[in-house]
Chain A
Amino acid sequence: MTNRPLLSITLSLILSLTSPLAESFCGFYVAKADAKLFNKASQVVLVRQEDKTVLTMANDFKGDPKEFAVVIPVPTFLEKGQIHIGEKKLIDHLDAYTAPRLVEYYDDNPCQRAIYEAAPASAAPTAGFEMPQRAKKNGHGVTVEAEYTIGEYDILILSAKESDGLEQWLTENGYRIPDGATDVLGSYIKQKMRFFVAKVNLKELSKLGFSYLRPIQVAYDSPKFMLPIRLGTVNADGPQELFIYTITQNGRVETTNYRTLKLPSDTEIPVYIKEDFANFYRAMFDQQVQKEDMEAVFLEYAWDMNWCDPCAADPLTTEELRKLGVFWLDGASDNRNFGGQPLNAFVTRLHVRYTAAKFPQDLVFQETADRNNFQGRYILRHPWTGTDSCPAATEYRKGLQQRYEQEAQQLADLTGWDIDKIRRRMNLLLGEEVAPRPEPKQGWWEKLWKE
């Protein structure tokens, strides 16, 4: 009993916003946040068409691999071929492609083009397998329906008759069960769910040479379009963070038993946020969660996978999508802009912060026919700093102060930050870099007797 991995569904992940500066159709995409933004965050990819689902679960488990264990309720029995070990970089790519983004614009010389026209946001349209030892009775009413070693994981598919028996079985087999899990397990047993139990096989891990644990993928047929989150809340100390990426054919995915809200987007914010985007995004998300009393799921991205604008990262290739489980891509080509058959893949990114109290039910989803594109996009507008003098320039400089104030207020609204601090920060930056030259003060009388 020395080996006691902790029962949890901490399929944690890093939200990466790092990407090289990339020019795009309107403005420049910039993003600067390479740190782990959210603690206790998990990432899940759900690929679904009709009743076929491919679920990919990423984890950023940092501890000793022998301490790692997951127990995941799954709707059906899983054959060995239905389980696969995926690649972390695919999820990282999907994360980068769908992440909220900053764009920046530079104001033109108002003397040359008197009216600034904001560019509109465009809105167009594996490893070795072992043979399973099936249906091995293990006592306590628990049946080990299959046992596989896949990649670095030892995997069991369990079915159980009673939660007490399952709990006892897990305890005897070295899993530490948190208080309160029994009821949740019992509920899943009665709903005829199976249990996918995985531990790390240290021998395989060292043989494969990975320094991290790769994502586990499972493919199954089931009408249940849901994600079990209840087990993960049992032993959680505080709210958990979950990113759900869905890839479907028809359109955006939303939750049916919780509100799905769009994250505020397309807002102009002060240019200094460029250096502080990670903090901004985190504070904005905190603020939105607070505003909705932690009762909503947030939509951060909904887009046809064929393109992006601006691109935080390139769209995923056909090969990458297939590896993530998109099984309907026969004939699709990566040369989408050159006559290749377009991909039929619509990606939705949902972000939810949850506790057992606010999210008592598992998340249930539905696919809608909504193919409207949506992205979390925040705009930096650099002022024109030229010295030309003309009536339009005077007007422009006057308007700037108002614009700065508006940007400060928008930032305060979005993040809940103190507006005075924002103003101070902006002035500081304005003084250093982009302060507009003050027009020389003229008394009204000076023009009167001017020769």
Chain B
Amino acid sequence: MSDFFQKLQFSHILQIDPRIYQMLSLSCLLIYGIGWLDFEVQPISIFILVSTSLVTQYVCTRLFKLPSLDLRSSFTSSLSLCLLLRTNSLFLMSVTAFITVLSKFVFRWNHKHIFNPTNFSLIAMILFTGQVWVSPGQWGSTAFLVFLIACLGGLVINRASRSDVTYAFLIFYTAMVFGRAVWLGDPLTIPLHQLENGALLLFAFFMISDPKTTPNSRVGRILFALLVTMGAGYVQFILYRTNGLLWSLVFFSCWVPVIDWLLPGEYYEWKKKERSLSRN
């Protein structure tokens, strides 16, 4: 009887919305970043980012007449912003969080968002204000952290059932940096150092994998991962600019409708997932 009860509990936990896992993972990363990696994130920043995101979600839900208020995605986005966004202006923080959530409502196509909300708002703010930046070096290359993120992220992806895009991206990216190192005759410590980067894994597991923005078909998603990798390489190694991954993702997200048109597939729904899980 107790065995049965345990099984019941475990299966119940597994059925939780994938976004709960995301929230937990991102929260752990934020605590780790502040506690161990000296991220300069003040409590007031977290408060502003989270509260603006939630309020915007509430207002937009009313404005766009959505049937119900769902705060999970916007809360997840606000946690991503806490990890990535750096600015000295509380006002700009608030604006970024506002744009993040608003972009989900404005840039839509065929039941999907065009852009990953965090990706879009970060690039928009970097481009138009000059007062916002992302610190890709902040994670360092501590093996422990890589392990932690990979585990937590892996969990998230499996739940979001779009792990193929993450794996494809990681394979393409690894091939690119190793290929480049071999071509240059660099020691392999260089590509390893480039891969041992928390920012890269955060991008792979939490940003490019967003099921609401990736192409619907598997082939489409693998093609998308390849394009994003090539774009990032172009920005980093040919233009010599930072945040290649973010620029590349925002650029190729615009092409997802074309990929979906060429390679059609079924679009992703959080709720459908919930329903199918509850049926299991």
Query: A residues bordering B, Cβ < 8 Å?
Result: 163, 183, 186-187, 190-191, 222-226, 250, 254-262, 295-296, 356-357, 360-361, 364, 366, 368-372
Q: Is the CB of A261 within 8 A of B184?
A: no
Q: How far is the CA of A357 from the CA of B135 in the complex (A)?
A: 23
Q: Is the CB of A361 within 8 A of B136?
A: no
Q: Is the CB of A254 within 8 A of B187?
A: no
Partner of B242, one of A183, A191, A296, A366: A366
Q: How far is the CA of A190 from the CA of B193 in the complex (A)?
A: 20
* Chain A proximity mask over B262-273: 1 for CB below 8 Å, otherwise 0: 000000000000
Partner of B193, one of A226, A250, A254, A360: A360
Question: In the complex where A191-B184, A259-B37, A370-B86 touch, is A224 in contact with B240 (Cβ < 8 A)?
Answer: yes
Q: How far is the CA of A163 from the CA of B185 in the complex (A)?
A: 10
Q: How far is the CA of A225 from the CA of B135 in the complex (A)?
A: 15
Q: How far is the CA of A222 from the CA of B239 in the complex (A)?
A: 10
Q: Is the CB of A261 within 8 A of B38?
A: yes
Partner of A257, one of B86, B130, B185, B193: B193
Q: Is the CB of A254 within 8 A of B190?
A: no
15 interchain pairs, CB-CB under 8 A: A186-B184, A186-B185, A190-B183, A191-B184, A255-B137, A256-B242, A259-B139, A260-B138, A295-B140, A360-B187, A360-B192, A366-B242, A369-B130, A370-B86, A370-B133
Q: List residues of chain B with CB within 8 A of the CB of A258.
A: 137, 140
Highest count of chain A CB atoms <10 Å: which of B86, B193, B197: B193
Q: Which residue of B lies closest to A357 (CB)?
A: B189
Q: How far is the CA of A250 from the CA of B130 in the complex (A)?
A: 9
Partner of B88, one of A190, A260, A370: A370
Partner of A183, one of B38, B187, B192: B187
Q: Is the CB of A223 within 8 A of B240?
A: yes
Measured between C-beta atoms, what is the minimum distance from B197 to chain A in Å? 8
Q: List residues of chain B with CB within 8 A of the CB of A260.
A: 135, 137-138
The answer, yes or no, to whether B161 is at the interface (CB within 8 Å) is no
The answer, yes or no, to whether B158 is at the interface (CB within 8 Å) is no
In chain B, positions 178-224 with a C-beta closer than 8 Å to chain A are 183-187, 189-190, 192-194, 197
Q: What is the number of residues of chain B that contact chain A, defined by CB distance less than 8 Å?
A: 32
A-B pair number, CB within 8 angstroms: 76
Q: Is the CB of B137 within 8 A of A360?
A: no
Q: List residues of chain A with CB within 8 A of the CB of B197.
A: 257
Q: List residues of chain B with CB within 8 A of the CB of A372.
A: 88
Q: How far is the CA of A299 from the CA of B167 in the complex (A)?
A: 36
Q: How far is the CA of A256 from the CA of B136 in the complex (A)?
A: 5
Q: Is the CB of B137 within 8 A of A257?
A: yes
Q: How far is the CA of A211 from the CA of B4 in the complex (A)?
A: 87
Q: Is the CB of B184 within 8 A of A256?
A: no
Known: A296-B140, A368-B133, A368-B135. 4 other contacts (CB 8 A): A260-B138, A261-B38, A295-B140, A369-B132
Highest count of chain B CB atoms <10 Å: which of A261, A356, A357, A366: A366
Q: How far is the CA of A103 from the CA of B100 in the complex (A)?
A: 45
Q: List residues of chain B with CB within 8 A of the CB of A361.
A: 190, 193-194
Q: Is the CB of A187 within 8 A of B185?
A: yes
Q: Is the CB of B138 within 8 A of A259?
A: yes
Q: Is the CB of B239 within 8 A of A223?
A: yes
Question: In the complex where A190-B184, A361-B193 touch, is A259 in contact with B140 (Cβ < 8 A)?
Answer: yes
Q: How far is the CA of A357 from the CA of B192 in the complex (A)?
A: 11
Q: How far is the CA of A361 from the CA of B188 in the complex (A)?
A: 11
The answer, yes or no, to whether B141 is at the interface (CB within 8 Å) is yes
Measured between C-beta atoms, what is the minimum distance from B64 to chain A in Å? 33
Q: How far is the CA of A307 from the CA of B242 in the complex (A)?
A: 31
Q: Is the CB of B88 within 8 A of A254?
A: no
Q: List residues of chain B with CB within 8 A of the CB of A295.
A: 140-142
The answer, yes or no, to whether B7 is at the interface (CB within 8 Å) is no
